[in-house]
Each structure stands twice: as C-alpha cells, then as structure tokens.
Amino acid sequence: MCSIMNVSKNSYYTWVRTDNKQKDSLIYLKQRITGIYNDSNQVYGSLRVQKMLERENLFYSRSYIAFLMKELGLKSVLSKKYKVMTTNSNHDFPIAENILNRGFTSSQLGEKWVSDITYIKVGSGWNYLTTILDLADRKIVAWTLSADMTTKNMVYKAWVLAREKRKITNNHIFHSDRGVQYASNKMVSLLNLSSKITQSMSRKGNCWDNAVSESFFKTIKYECTNRYNFKSYLHTYHIINQYINWYNNSRIHSALDYKTPAEKELELRIINNKKVA
C-alpha cells in the first residue's frame, strides 16, 4: 500500500501513532465532559463545562465543547419559567432606607448581606425558603425552610444562624425587600441590638434593588426545585440542603470569575489576613 501511494513506511507508522493519540485524547475529553456534566447533576451547559476543563489545563473553544456535548446527548436540564414572587409588603411597619443602593459588591466578608423569601410547592401547599447571602463571596451564609410565614421561623431564625456562622463588620448592611417579616418589630428590634448593623430595604415594587437574592432564587428554581414534585417538608429540606452545599462549595459562579463561593471566601480571608499582618 505504501508503495502504491508513494509513501514511506516510516511516514505511515508516524501517521498511525499520531491518529491513535488524537483518538485517545478525544476519548478522554469526552469522558471528562461527561464526568463534569454528571457531577453538576446535569446542570452545567457548555460554558461551565469549558471553564471546568480549563481548571484541568484542557483548553478548548466553547463551540467545540458544545458540539461534543450535542454529540454525547448532554444538555443542561430544562425547567419551568421562574416567576418572581415577593413577600407581603402591604403592612404599616416603618420601612428602612435603601442604604445598599444596588452596591452588590464587597471586598470584606460580613460587610453586606442580602436576604429574601421564596415559595416552594410541597404537596398541595407551600413551604417558605429564606436565605441570607454574603455579597463578598456570594455564599449562602444561612437559610431556613418553614411551613409557615412567621418572622420567628423565617428571617429571625436565618439571621441567628448566619451570625453563628460568620462575623460581621462594624459597618454591616443587612438588605432585603419591604416584606412584613423584615419590617416587623421582632426583626427590627433584633437588628437594633447592635450598633454595627444598618438595615436597608428595596424601594417599593423594585425587585432590581435586591437583584442578587432574586438571581439566586432563579438559579435554585432552574437547577433544583423545579425538577422535583415535593411531597413532604423533610424531602424538600433534604434536597435544598444538598443543593446549597453544592452551590457553596462546588458550583462555579460567573460573578466570581468562575470560582466557587468557597474558593472566593478563602481568597478573601488570605487577602485580609495579609492586610492585618
């Protein structure tokens, strides 16, 4: 065959070795794409798969990764549309000024926390998820799942858990919407116990003033809760707990230059410790 094609035997065997290496490389790449996709519980699309591959020094264009994912039959999970559902702001409690004013960045852990409440369908009723998120590392510092809408079992409990897990700065801002749970005497009195804390609230009917919390709820709905038909509180709690642990420790975040909240937290702690030293 080499004689007929006027090709040397050495050239032929070089081509065979190169072709086999390329095939082995493609097989490995497909294995890693599939592994990353499955590790994300089928959440990651081509962009995040590409970013995860770069962490392994595997550099390919997003379009090529998208092509291979299509070839492998891998597609980010589809979900129902998420509709913003805010807490009840029809009350007579005083409203705090919007101190945060959409300042959604921070270089200090514990400086700016945002909080919100969303509804989770469970059986024929609802449970209520409350989260507190630190804007410095986008970590969910604390969360609660309640079968009722009382301040005690929602925001109050989440705040106590958050304070147990993370210190706050001397100029701490706690921002939320104008919901009755946040404006209630119980919550306001709790926040007023410390001179470090300034309470902040969104303007009326303006969900963009709490856009980071809204964005997290959109994400958890798309990637988690809309994929389940919850039958009980315990089932709901278990699934949400799994997701938030993954979100905090493993999910790469576009706003953090595709680091995880845990990686960003470590980075900020190292930077701030150097400043102190």
**Alpha-carbon gap, residue 116 to 39, rounded angstroms:** 28
**Exposed, middle or buried: residue 95 (CB in 10 Å: 0-12, 13-18, 19+)?**
middle
User: What pTM was computed for the model?
Assistant: 0.87
More confident: 92 or 242: 242
Strand spans (E) along 124-230: 125-134, 139-146, 172-176, 197-201
Domains recognised in the chain with CATH numbers: 9-72 (no CATH), 112-275 (3.30.420.10)
Name the band, by pLDDT with cuts 50, 70 and 90, for residue 4: confident
Residue 89 φ/ψ, nearest 5 degrees = -105, 10
pLDDT, tens digit, for every residue of 6-51?
Answer: 777 776 666 656 655 566 789 999 999 999 999 999 999 999 999 9
DSSP string, 40-82: TTT---HHHHHHHHHHTT----HHHHHHHHHHHT--PPP-PPP
Q: What is the residue type of 234?
A: L
Which residues have C-beta within 8 Å of that of residue 148, sequence separation ≥ 6?
128
Judge whether 264 and 137 are in contact, CB under 8 Å.
yes
Q: How far apart are CA 87 and CA 150, in angstroms?
A: 12
Q: What is the mean pLDDT of the chain?
A: 91
Is 120's pLDDT higher than 80? yes
* Residue 276, both tokens: 């102190």
Q: What pLDDT is attached to residue 7?
A: 74
Chain segment 141-189, per-residue pLDDT in tens: 999 999 999 999 999 999 999 999 999 999 999 999 999 999 999 999 9
Percent of the chain at pLDDT above 70? 89
Q: What percent of the chain has pLDDT over 90?
A: 81
Task: Estimate the share of the chain in helix, then strand, then coil, as percent rounded to the nearest 5.
Answer: 50, 15, 35
Angle (CA) 227-205-103 rounded to 5° is 85
Amino acid letter at 187? Answer: M
Residue 206 has pLDDT above 80, yes or no: yes
3-state secondary structure of 114: strand
pLDDT value at residue 76: 87
25 C-beta neighbours (distance < 10 Å), count: 11
The per-residue pLDDT for 105 is 96
Q: Which helix (H) or strand (E) holds 252?
A: none
Task: Please give the angle made by the CA atoms of 74, 137 and 235, to the nearest 5 degrees.
Answer: 55
Q: Which amino acid is at 83?
A: K
Query: Residue 183, by phi and psi: left (phi above 0), alpha (psi -120 to 50) or beta?
Result: alpha
φ, ψ dihedrals at 258, nearest 5° = 60, 35
